[in-house]
Chain A
Amino acid sequence: GESVGLHLPTLSVQEGDNSIINCAYSNSASDYFIWYKQESGKGPQFIIDIRSNMDKRQGQRVTVLLNKTVKHLSLQIAATQPGDSAVYFCAEKNSGGYQKVTFGTGTKLQVIP
């Protein structure tokens, strides 16, 4: 079956350093891979996505890398700030049917001031 999982449940990073959050997936039929951020007491919020035919996409302070050979996805956050502290979810959208989005298990990012 399909699954999306994360290598590290908790990541502690010094403020100002770069953060890298990793994710493994198993469904090769997904057409989009997505990162969501969930702050305490709030719902998940879309950060960035990448199409399956791309290997890199950059946003503001964030970069997503997709390695289809090893089915690996990562989110890089540059110059991590206290406001980046949250749980980050990778997710994938299947290309057929009702285009369901499946979420991974989440990684908690703690930024140390």
Chain B
Amino acid sequence: DAGVIQSPRHEVTEMGQEVTLRCKPISGHNSLFWYRQTMMRGLELLIYFNNNVPIDDSGMPEDRFSAKMPNASFSTLKIQPSEPRDSAVYFCASSFGTGPYGYTFGSGTRLTVV
């Protein structure tokens, strides 16, 4: 298995533009998580899905952020419109089940909004 695959690895965009981050979880994993990492706040959970259904999106900062999981092998995190304060590394992770099982993280997308 290639692990959790995220794209793009790096994204530089202008303020106000729409940004879409993509994630392919490990086959067979039924929980998917989106995290954001900044120097100031460390790692924060934005949203997670179980069996393609959003379970907890309380970490999504505001309405500019949205996430979808149309099927078991694909998820997107969209920011529209983007702002400089959204600059961060966004990680996707997957696991099997909703219990405290081992996680596999993707390599992350480094987003810079100028």
Q: Do A and B come from one complex?
A: no
Give A residues with C-beta under 8 Å from B: none
Give B residues with C-beta under 8 Å from A: none
